Amino acid sequence: MKRGLVLLILMMNFVPLLASAEPGLAALTVKPGENGSETYSVTIQVLLFMTALSLLPAALMMMTSFMRILIVLGILRQALGTQSSPSNQVLIGLALFLSLFIMMPVFDRVYEDALAPYLEEQIPAQEAMQRAAGPFRGFMLGQTRDDDLMLFANISGSAEFETAEDVPFSLLLPAFVTSELKTAFQIGFLILIPFLVIDLVIATLLMSMGMMMLSPMIISLPFKIMLFVLIDGWSLIMGTLAASFAV
C-alpha cells in the first residue's frame, strides 16, 4: 500500500512537466531540399531502418538462394534417414553461409552502386534503394522461369512486358519463390533416387530371409552413410547447389 502511494505521488509530480512539454515530437521533421526533394530527420531514418531490419529475415529467405539450399539439405537429411542429424541449426548455418558465397557478387554490386555513394552523401536514400534493387532484380530474373512469370502476370491481369525492367517487383517476387520451390524439389528428387534404391534392395533381402519384423531403415542406414561418404557427398551437394545458380 505504501509503495502504491509513493508511486502515485511521484507520478503527480511529473504531471506539470508533461503539461508544459511541447506537443508531438520535434525530432520528426521533414526538411525540404534545394532541388525540391525532401530529407527526413535522423529519427525517422532510424525508425525506417529498424522497420527494415524486422523484414530482413523474410527478405533473406525469399530474395536470395537461401530457400532452395535449405529445402535441398532438408530432403537430403530425409533421404539419409538420419532423423535429426545434422540438426536444424547446422542445416540453417550451411544454407546461410553458402547463400552468402553465392550472393556475394550481388552484395558487392549493391555496395558499390548504392550503399557506398549513400554513405558518402552523394545520393539520397530513395535513389540508393532504387540502385540496390537492381542487382537483386537481375539475380531473381535469372532464376525465374518464364512460365511462372506469365502465370502471375495472367493472375494479376498485367499486359505482356517488353523488357525485364518492366516486370514489377510485386509480380517478380512470387514468381521467383515459385521457381525456387520447383527447382529445389527437382534437385531433391534426384538426390532421393539412389537412397531409395538402397532401401528397396535392403527391404527385398530382409523379406527373402524371412526377417520381416526387422525395420529395413536400421540396416540400410549404414549403407547409405557409407555410400554418401565414399562419393564425397557433401562436396557434390554443395558444388551442385552453387552451380545451379549460374546464369
Task: Provide the CA 20 distance to its chain's centre, in angstroms.
Answer: 48
- pLDDT value of position 231: 87
Cis preceding-peptide flag for 23 (omega within 30 of 0): no
pLDDT in tens, the chain (247 residues): 444 433 333 344 433 444 444 444 444 455 555 555 555 555 666 676 677 677 777 777 888 889 999 999 999 998 888 877 888 899 999 999 999 999 898 888 888 888 888 777 787 777 788 888 888 888 888 888 888 888 888 887 776 777 767 778 888 888 999 999 999 999 999 999 988 888 888 888 888 877 777 777 778 888 888 888 898 888 989 988 998 887 6
- Sign of the torsion formed by the C-alpha atoms of 43, 44, 49 and 55: positive
Q: What is the pTM of this model?
A: 0.74
Query: What cell was used for 84?
Result: 535429426
Q: How many CB atoms sit inside 10 A of residue 137's CB? A: 17
Alpha-carbon dihedral sign for residues 205, 211, 217, 223: negative
Can you tell me which residue has the cell 524486422? 54
